[in-house]
Amino acid sequence: MSFLNKTELETNLWSLEIGVPAADFTAQTAKVFQKQRGRINVPGFRKGKAPRHIVETLYGKDVFYEDALDNLLPELLKEAYAEGELDVVASPFDLEAKLDNAPEDITLTVKVWTKPDVTVEQYEGLEAEKDEVEASDEDIDAEITRRRQRNSRVITKEGAAEEGDIATIDFEGFADDIPFEGGKGDNYDLELGSGSFIPGFEEQVVGHSAGESFDVNVTFPEEYHAEDLAGKAVVFKVTVQEVKHKEEPELDDDFAKDCGFEDVAELREGVKTELLEQRQAHADEHFESSVIEALIDQVSGEIPPPMVEAQAKEQVQNMARNIQQQGMELEMYLQYIGQTPEEFLESQLPTAERRVRLELALEKIVAAQGYEISEEEQEAEYAKIAEQYKIDTERVKTLIPVEDLTLSLKREKALNLVKSTAKAVPPKPQETEDDAE
Fold classified for 2-115: Alpha-Beta Plaits (3.30.70)
433: left (phi over 0), alpha (psi -120 to 50) or beta: alpha
Q: What is the pLDDT of residue 55?
A: 86
Q: Which CATH number fits domain 153-247: 3.40.50.720, 3.40.1440.10, 3.30.70.140, 3.10.50.40?
A: 3.10.50.40
Residues of the chain with CATH 3.30.70.1050: 2-115
Rounded distance between C-alpha atoms, residue 234 and residue 227, angstroms = 14
Question: How many helices and strands (H and E) does the chain possess?
Answer: 15, 13
pLDDT of residue 173: 94
Cα(339)–Cα(350) distance, rounded to whole angstroms?
17
pTM over 0.85: no
Amino acid at 251: L
Those residues with Cβ within 8 angstroms of residue 270's Cβ, 6 or more apart along the chain or in another chain: 259, 260, 261
| pLDDT at residue 98, rounded to an integer | 81
The answer to whether 127 touches 93, Cβ cutoff 8 Å, is no
Q: Name the stretches of the chain with pLDDT < 50.
A: none
Q: Report the alpha-carbon distance of residue 4 to residue 105 in Å, rounded.
A: 12
Quote the pLDDT of residue 322: 94
Q: Write down the pLDDT at residue 1.
A: 56
Cis peptide before 179 (omega within 30 of 0): no
Residue pair 184/172 in contact (Cβ under 8 Å)? The answer is yes
Measured CA to CA in angstroms, residue 66 lies from 2, 52, 63, 96, 324 at distances of 19, 16, 7, 11, 42
The C-alpha atoms of residue 239 and residue 228 are separated, in whole angstroms, by 26
At 398-412, the pLDDT tens digits run: 999 999 999 999 999
Confidence (pLDDT) at 432? 58
Task: Give the Cα separation of 172 and 342 in Å (integer).
Answer: 44
Portions of the chain given CATH number 3.10.50.40: 153-247
Cα 16 versus chain centre, distance: 36
For 219: left if phi > 0, alpha if psi spans -120 to 50, otherwise beta; the answer is beta
Q: What is the reported pLDDT for 48?
A: 80
Secondary-structure class of domain 264-425 per CATH: mainly alpha
Mean pLDDT taken over the chain: 92
Residues of the chain with CATH 1.10.3120.10: 264-425
